[in-house]
Every structure is written in structure tokens, then in C-alpha cells.
A and B are shown apart, each in its own frame.
Chain A
Amino acid sequence: MIELEGLTKRYGTKIAVDHLSFQVRPGVVTGFLGPNGAGKSTTMRMMLDLDNPTSGTVRIDGKHYRDLAEPLKYIGALLDAKAMHGGRSAYNNLLCLAQSNRIPASRVGEVLDLVGLTAVAKKKSKGFSLGMGQRLGIASALLGDPEILMFDEPVNGLDPEGIHWIRNLMKALAAEGRTIFVSSHLMSEMALTADHLIVIGQGKLLADTSMADFIQQNSRSFVRMRSPQQERLRDVLHANGFVVVEAGHGALEVDGATTEKLGELAAENGLVLHELSQQRASLEEAFMQMTAAAVEYHAHGTDVHGGAAAPGPQWGPTSEGA
């Protein structure tokens, strides 16, 4: 169990992490989601007592990290794949860590085997590819056979095979009853691996919810309809008690109805339909909506249709009726 209470990190006048309080519960994969620059890595570094919080506390099983005598046996972390000495072999890099926490040297071979690096154990780690470095980092996290595992963006820069491997590994570790805390900026990635979700934006907590609830609440499903007789269609829908939202470009969005029902209704009223389709907002969209206000690095000049400053057709929702 990891508990954060009012965790805050300030760099000068800029707040990177803003009074963050949440718990990471054992036995599940907790996804830590936020756009780039939201403060995920800073939070994780503070959890490991690498960065000093401006205020607030982190407790690991009730203790401060610095008071853990052999922390690798409680918590293993992959923060950054390059956090090893390149001139040292993979085996020796892990051996130094093992010895510092009185972990038997035989365990080094075990974790190297587990991550599939046995063949290159004696090779200097500076020659490792990103994926191999990531595997070495994961081996170091597993070294003390800890109950809690933390991974910061573990799939970043990996090839599909590596991504698949990490996903399965995390699931297997959670199935063993361990606490997994994994950060990502990709909702789609989280949807595949996480049971619980903590979303932050600009250092603030935006959501602390189970994955199932998040999907339930955020993946709105609706029916999209277009008709040359839009006015009449709308009246008919209203008259039948449907909630209709105008979506622009002559489309209507109807919540809480099936395509069958609406198609029959249109037919009964002799209406021509150009479109009748089931739509589902993706989790990625839900995540983007949630964090939209909190995204730090907006892409400027995103208008690809002739440049931001050039007047021209615009399809954004705000340009309706302009």
C-alpha cells in the first residue's frame, strides 16, 4: 500500500505536483495517467524519495521510504531505462544493487532469466537497445522480489513485441497479488492493463476511479443521424421523448436509443435518412476531454487547413454559424 498525502512539488513559481492525495492499493494494477508534463514522473520520483517534496508525504506500508532498511525488498521501480552504468555488464549492474540490499547473488541470474537477458548478461549495458535497457531496468525492479512495483512509462519506445511482453508481465505480477503502479500518457494502454485509474493533469488529481467505472461513465454511446429533413426529424424525436444534440454539419446525436428503434421511427414518419449509425466515444477522447483544461503543452497552430492565421473553412465546434 502506498499512500500519498498532500504531495506537492514546486519549482520556483511553477507547481509541478499540486496537493496530490491518493492510495495505491495492493493486488491490482493501478494506472497513473496524465498528459506529458502532468507531473507523473516527478510524483514517482518523490514516491521513491529521490526528489524532496515541497510539502506533503508519501508512505510505503506506513513508512517513509528513507526509513526502509532494504527498500528493494519492498518496492521495485523502473524509472528510466538508462539508469545504469554503461561500462558495467548487465550482471554486475544488478549485482551491485543486490549486494546493497543483501539479496543473494543467485537472484541476479534468476531475474536476468526472467526478463530474457541471460545471453547478454556479461555484455556492457551501454550497447543495449532501448528494449534491452528496459528489460534490464525491469530486472532491477524485480531483484528484491518486492510486493510493490512501480513502472514509469514502461512501454515508451518499445516495439510491439516488447509492449506485449511488458503488458503480460504486469498482468502476471498483479495476478500474484502484487501492487503494480504504472504510469502512461496513453489511455488505450491503460485500458488494457489497469484495474484502477488515477488521472492527473498539471499536477492535480482529476480522477481516482476503478477502470470499470471510468469506462462506464466516460464512454458515451449514442446514435448519429443525418437527414435532409433535419427540422422534421428533430421534432419527431422530441415528440417521442428522445434527447437530441445538434452535432453540426446537419447531424443529430441521440442518446439512449438503438439504431433499430430510430430507423423504424423515421420510417413511420416517412423521413429520408442519409445516416443512421451507432457511435461510441473512445476512452482516449474521454481522457482528452478530462485533461483538456490541464494539458500543459498545447500544440499551437494545429489548424492543418492552411495555417492557424489564414482565414478559411474551419470545422471546429466553435466555428459553427460563423
Chain B
Amino acid sequence: MAVETAVLQSEWTKIRTVSSTVWTLASAFLVTVAMGAGLSALTNATFDDMRAVERATFDPTLISFSGMILGQLAMVVFGVLVVGTEYSSGMIRTSLAAVPQRATFLFSKITVAGGLAFLVGLATSFVTFFLGQALLGGHRASISDDNVLRAVIGAGLYMGLIALFSMGVAAMLRSSMLSLGILVPFLLLVSNILSAVPKAKEVAQYFPDQAGSKVMRVIPDAMNSEKAPYGPWGGLGIMALWVVASLLGGYLVLKKRDA
């Protein structure tokens, strides 16, 4: 146990002594909050222009999380860089010479970085929620409404999970550039496009981001969208399985391949 504590401390030092930690996490927070606030205010101003069916399924909580689509990318960059810079800098050889137990090394790193991502994620989701609701005026939801607290906590967990998923991908691909080159277009384009295409969306709804983001909905068919065949926690569970798979994959690559 002593070894694990020491390695956790070491990984914490690694994270707090590089500037990328601050700017990625600050971006995740600011982008999500600012974009959520902007769209909430816009929605409030144009509420009467929405179609009746959209008004009927209006989900003020989900609206305030609109910034997540971009904010999550900063979380992805954080997750990718935490693992990827070990490889791009060559530090990985020094790190593994100091901590040759691959599981201890990788899971200490993921514990520290993941914990930080969850904390920032939760702070982001609460601030985003309250600011967004304030700007939604008469259309706002209250944190005490049914399922709202679940959605807000879920949104924070989503941000943490997307960071963990990115760490696993970076550990598998062993390259920041390659990981970002795959994850960013996937989250920004591929996943969203496929979930709008008939047939393809049957598969796409099980993608990590699509499944996980359902937890942010208070109304299952929010904004006249289709209901998912799983519940909000079920969706987050699907995302968690993706995270486990990517971290396991990352661990196996680290264990089997030459550093």
C-alpha cells in the first residue's frame, strides 16, 4: 500500500506541475458554462418561436447543458494529454523505470487525473445549471424538481467519464495527436451525424457519448427527440462500460508492448 500511496503522490505532482492541466480544465469549465448560459438566454428570448411539440417537451435542465458538446472536448484534451505526454516526451521510459509495476503506474495516474476530472465536472455542471436556469427566466427548472438533481450530478459524472475514456484511448494509441485526431472528430461529427441517420442511429445510441449524455435529460424525449431504450443511469452505465473497456485496453497495451 505504501507503494501505491507514493505513486499517487507522484502522479499528483505530475499533474499539478504542467500548465496543460490548468488550461484544459479551465476551458472545460468556461466553455461549458459560457455556451450553456448563452443558449439558455437565447432560448428564453425565442421561446415562443419554438414549435408546439418542442415547447411541450421543453427540458430547461438539458438546455443549460448545451455547452457540454464543446466543453467535453476540453475534457478529452485533458484526458489525452495526461497519458499522451508520457509518450510524446519520452517520459514514459523514466516513469516506468521508477514504477515498473504497470498496473500501479497506470491506475494511479488514472485515479488522480480521473478524480480531478470528476471534481471539475461536478463543479461545472452545478454552475452551468444554476446560471442557465437564472437566464431561462420563467421557463426555468428548480434543482428540487423531480430528476433534476440526478441530471445535474449525471452531467458532472459524464464529464469525468469522458476524460477517463480519453485516457484509455491515449494509453492504447500511445500518442496524443492520434488520440485527439480520432476522438475530437468522433465526438463532434461522427457520433452526432450517425445518431441522426435512420438505421445507423440504432447503433449510434450505444456510443459512449450518446448513451452517457442521456443522463442530462430530465424529460426522456426532451425537445421532441426519440426516447432511448435505456434509462438515464442505464445510459451512463453503458458509457461506464466503454470507459472500462478503453482503460483495460490501455492497460493491456502498456503491459504487453515495449515502452
Q: Pick from B51-59, B86-94, B126-134, B235-243 the stretch touching chain A.
A: B86-94
Residue B193, interface by CB 8 Å: no
Cβ-defined contact, A85 with B7, below 8 A: no
CB closest residue in chain A, given B13: A96
Residue B98, interface by CB 8 Å: yes
CB closest residue in chain B, given A99: B10
- Between B7, B85, B94, the greatest number of chain A beta carbons within 10 A of the residue's beta carbon is seen for B94
Contacting residue for A51 out of B3, B6, B259, CB 8 A? B259
CB closest residue in chain A, given B96: A50
Residue B101, interface by CB 8 Å: yes
Chain B residues touching A, range = 20 to 34
Contacting residue for B91 out of A45, A84, A95, CB 8 A? A84
Cβ-defined contact, B91 with A100, below 8 A: no
Cβ-defined contact, B85 with A85, below 8 A: yes
Q: Could you tell me the distance between the alpha carbons of A50 and B13 in the complex, rounded to whole angstroms?
A: 23
CB distance from A263 to the nearest CB of B (A): 59
Cβ-defined contact, B259 with A50, below 8 A: yes
Cβ-defined contact, B6 with A102, below 8 A: yes
CB distance from B13 to the nearest CB of A (A): 5
Q: Could you tell me the distance between the alpha carbons of A80 and B17 in the complex, rounded to whole angstroms?
A: 22
Q: Could you tell me the distance between the alpha carbons of A6 and B244 in the complex, rounded to whole angstroms?
A: 38
CB closest residue in chain A, given B108: A100
- Between A66, A72, A83, the greatest number of chain B beta carbons within 10 A of the residue's beta carbon is seen for A83
Cβ-defined contact, A96 with B90, below 8 A: no
The A-contacting residues of B in range 201-252, CB under 8 angstroms, are none
The B-contacting residues of A in range 54-82, CB under 8 angstroms, are 65-66, 68-72, 77, 79-80, 82
> Which A residues lie within 8 Å of B2 (CB)?
102
Cβ-defined contact, B10 with A97, below 8 A: yes
Q: A87-B19, A96-B10 are in contact. Are A70 and B3 (CB under 8 A)?
A: yes
Cβ-defined contact, A100 with B100, below 8 A: no
CB closest residue in chain B, given A71: B100
Contacting residue for A89 out of B17, B20, B100, CB 8 A? B17
Cβ-defined contact, A100 with B7, below 8 A: yes
Q: A87-B18, A88-B17, A92-B13 are in contact. Are A48 and B85 (CB under 8 A)?
A: no
- Between B93, B95, B97, the greatest number of chain A beta carbons within 10 A of the residue's beta carbon is seen for B97
CB distance from B159 to the nearest CB of A (A): 24
> Which B residues lie within 8 Å of A45 (CB)?
93, 258-259
Residue A101, interface by CB 8 Å: yes
Contacting residue for B100 out of A51, A68, A97, A98, CB 8 A? A68
Cβ-defined contact, B6 with A99, below 8 A: yes
Chain A residues touching B, range = 20 to 34
Contacting residue for A52 out of B3, B14, B19, B258, CB 8 A? B258
User: What mask results when residues 215 to 253 of chain A are scored 1 for a CB within 8 Å of chain B, else 0?
Assistant: 000000000000000000000000000000000000000
> Which B residues lie within 8 Å of A52 (CB)?
256, 258
Cβ-defined contact, A71 with B93, below 8 A: no
> Which B residues lie within 8 Å of A179 (CB)?
none
> Which A residues lie within 8 Å of B101 (CB)?
66
Cβ-defined contact, B93 with A101, below 8 A: no
Cβ-defined contact, A77 with B91, below 8 A: no
Contacting residue for A99 out of B13, B89, B90, B256, CB 8 A? B13
Cβ-defined contact, A96 with B17, below 8 A: yes
> Which A residues lie within 8 Å of B93 (CB)?
45, 48, 50, 79-80, 83
Residue B111, interface by CB 8 Å: no
Cβ-defined contact, A51 with B17, below 8 A: no
Cβ-defined contact, A101 with B97, below 8 A: no
Residue B253, interface by CB 8 Å: no
> Which A residues lie within 8 Å of B6 (CB)?
70, 99-102
Cβ-defined contact, A88 with B258, below 8 A: no
> Which A residues lie within 8 Å of B142 (CB)?
none
> Which B residues lie within 8 Å of A80 (CB)?
90, 93
Residue A30, interface by CB 8 Å: no
Cβ-defined contact, A51 with B18, below 8 A: no
Residue A49, interface by CB 8 Å: yes
Q: Could you tell me the distance between the alpha carbons of A98 and B99 in the complex, rounded to whole angstroms?
A: 11
User: What mask results when residues 69 to 91 of chain B are scored 1 for a CB within 8 Å of chain A, else 0?
Assistant: 00000000000000001100111
30 residue pairs A–B, Cβ–Cβ below 8 Å:
A48-B93, A50-B96, A50-B97, A50-B258, A51-B259, A52-B256, A68-B100, A71-B97, A71-B98, A82-B89, A83-B89, A84-B91, A85-B18, A85-B85, A85-B86, A85-B91, A87-B20, A87-B85, A88-B14, A88-B17, A89-B17, A95-B13, A96-B11, A97-B10, A97-B94, A97-B98, A98-B10, A99-B10, A100-B6, A100-B10
Those 8 A-B pairs whose CB atoms lie nearest each other, nearest first:
A100-B10, A51-B258, A92-B17, A99-B10, A50-B259, A83-B90, A83-B94, A66-B100
